[in-house]
Amino acid sequence: MTQVLRKAAETVLPVLTLVSVAAAIWAVFVYVPTDSAQGIVQRIFYFHVPLAMMTFGAFGVVAVASVFFLWRGDRVWDRLASAAAEVGMLFCTLVLITGPIWARPIWGTWWTWDARLTTTLILWLIYAAYLMLRTMSGAGDQGARYAAVLGIVGAIDIPIINRSVYWWRTIHPAVLVTREGGSGLADPSMRLTFEICMGAFLCLFLWLLWVRNESGRLHDAVEDLRQEVLARQQQR
């Protein structure tokens, strides 16, 4: 059953990702109308927000997998947490790149210490430290457990980022659900384009997570085999 699921993921996920990403690019640059207030630069929204959503999802996976690793001690969960952290860092970095590109023509500055921007940068720093801790601690369980604790604690920043535009006075817009309770995507074509982009980035996230997790699994298998060979050589 595991082999069947693995083969299905290896064949279906790449194709689904390719098709959905192509559909998203078409929707953003051809289908959806240009925003009347912000102009063409608003189209980066359809990349920026899904990237942020996938960042939250990735680091959420890190936290959940870390809980199971600390509870069960199974390296499968630790491997999943590590893979999700690496993919999450990729998406979070792209969030911090696309945000200033959007902000420059709208706010007149590349960066401002806005509540949401600052807490997102903190999230990036937390999981950068998580990956550094894993790298510096080697392959032992002790380092993995320390990293797991950091991965769980770091996820606390996710709801803070999400609610920051409502809790504090901030210039960052609340687009999906405005501060007044409505939606900033009034045009149905904008909502459809956003949904297509969310689906595309979800497929991309799942594919990258699968690839990185499989890479980690193969690495662990090779390492176990190497340790077994060394042990046999020492017995001779």
Q: Read off the pLDDT of residues 135-168 as tens digits, 9 standing for 90 and up.
A: 887 666 788 899 999 999 999 999 999 888 777 7
Identify whether the C-beta of residue 98 lies closer than 8 Å to the C-beta of residue 111. no
Instruction: Burial-class residue 210 by CB neighbours within 10 Å (0-12, 13-18, 19+).
Output: middle
Q: Please give the full DSSP string across 135-185, using - where no structure is assigned.
A: HHHTT-HHHHHHHHHHHHHHTTHHHHHHHHHHHS--SS---SS-TTSS-S-
Q: 193 in helix, strand or coil?
A: helix
CB 129 within 8 A of CB 150: yes
pLDDT in tens, 67-86: 999 998 888 999 999 999 99
**Per-residue pLDDT for 181 more than 70?**
no
Longest dimension (CA), the chain: 77
Judged against a pLDDT cut of 80, whether residue 31 lies above it is answered with yes
Q: Is the pLDDT of residue 182 over 60?
A: no
Residue 162: name the closest of 28, 41, 59 by CA: 59
Q: CA of 233: how far to CAs of 139, 165, 223, 225, in Å?
A: 22, 61, 15, 12
Banded pLDDT at 172 (limits 50, 70, 90): confident
Which pLDDT value is given to residue 44?
Answer: 92
Long-range CB pairs of 215-218 (<8 Å, 24+ gap) are 215/83, 216/79, 216/82, 216/83, 217/79
Is the pTM for the entire model greater than 0.85? Answer: yes
Residue 49 has pLDDT above 60, yes or no: yes
More confident residue, 106 or 209: 209
Two tokens, residue 212: 């990185």
Among 27-41, 116-130, 196-210, where is mean pLDDT lowest? Answer: 27-41
pLDDT of residue 183: 59
Instruction: Quote the pLDDT of residue 179.
Output: 55
Name the residue among 79, 157, 152 with its Cα closest to residue 121. Answer: 157
**At 36, is the secondary structure helix, strand, or coil?**
coil
5-9: long-range pairs with CB below 8 Å, 24+? 6/214, 9/210
Rounded distance, CA 186 to CA 183, Å?
7
- pLDDT at position 180 is 55
Average pLDDT over residues 215-228: 79
pLDDT at 187: 76
Work out the pLDDT band at 115, boundaries 50, 70, 90: confident
pLDDT score for 120 = 94
Give the pLDDT score at 169: 73
Q: If you count DSSP H runs as helices and E runs as strands, how many of each does the chain have, helices first?
A: 7, 0
Instruction: Report, as an integer, the average pLDDT of 44-62.
Output: 95
Given a cut of 60, is residue 128 above it in pLDDT? yes
Look at residue 206 and tell me whether its pLDDT is greater than 90: yes
Spatial neighbors of 46 by CB under 8 A, at least 6 apart, are 24, 27, 28, 32, 193, 194, 197
Amino acid 86: pLDDT: 96
Among residues 60, 224, 13, 89, the alpha carbon closest in space to that of 158 is found at: 60
Dist CA 209 CA 206 (whole Å): 5
